[in-house]
Amino acid sequence: MNKLHDFFRTDKFATGIGIELLDVADGHATAILRTTPDHHNAAGVVQGGAIFTLADYAFAAASNSRGRLATGIHVSISYMKAVKSGVLTARAEEVRCGKTTGTYLVHVTNEAGDEIALFQGTAFRLDQEVPPQ
């Protein structure tokens, strides 16, 4: 645990739907979601928005781990396999951190290691320290 970790635990939306941040440091982060029927869509599988939020949370943590506040400006996600239950893991890695923008890749997998979703995010880096002092 560290200050950045504590800061991200104040994300009410992500934590409210059951997402947990496992680690965050130096441009990467890992988060998990223990899915329940409350995460299902009308078709009875985990909703795309729940999977997106998991990936986006890992992306936010990773892109904010360089000491400056970063905000997502354009992201893309591919869904590869529907999921009904189990734990989903999102692993975010930094592809490049530039002066004003950063590019991150997030793989979402299930417990069997199958690729569930692939997320690519561009963050804009603001002139504010994070976590705020």
Sites of contact with a second copy (CB under 8 A): 7-14, 16-17, 37-43, 46-50, 52-54, 56-57, 60, 69, 71-82, 95-96, 98, 100-101, 103, 105, 107, 114-115, 118, 120, 122, 124
Of 88, 82, 93, 86, whose CA–CA distance to 26 is shortest?
93
Helix (H, G, I), strand (E, B) or coil at 39: helix
Q: Which residues contact 34 (CB under 8 A, 6 or more apart)?
A: 18, 87
Considering beta carbons, is residue 56 or 89 the nearer one to a second copy?
56
Interstrand relation of 115-129 and 19-25 (parallel, antiparallel or unpaired): unpaired
Smallest distance, Å, CB 101 to a second copy?
6
For the CB of residue 78, give the shortest distance to a second copy in the complex, in Å.
Answer: 5
Minimum gap (Å) between residue 1 Cβ and a second copy: 15
Smallest gap, in angstroms, from Cβ of residue 79 to a second copy? 6
Which among 37, 39, 36, 67 has a CA at the least distance from the CA of 52? 39
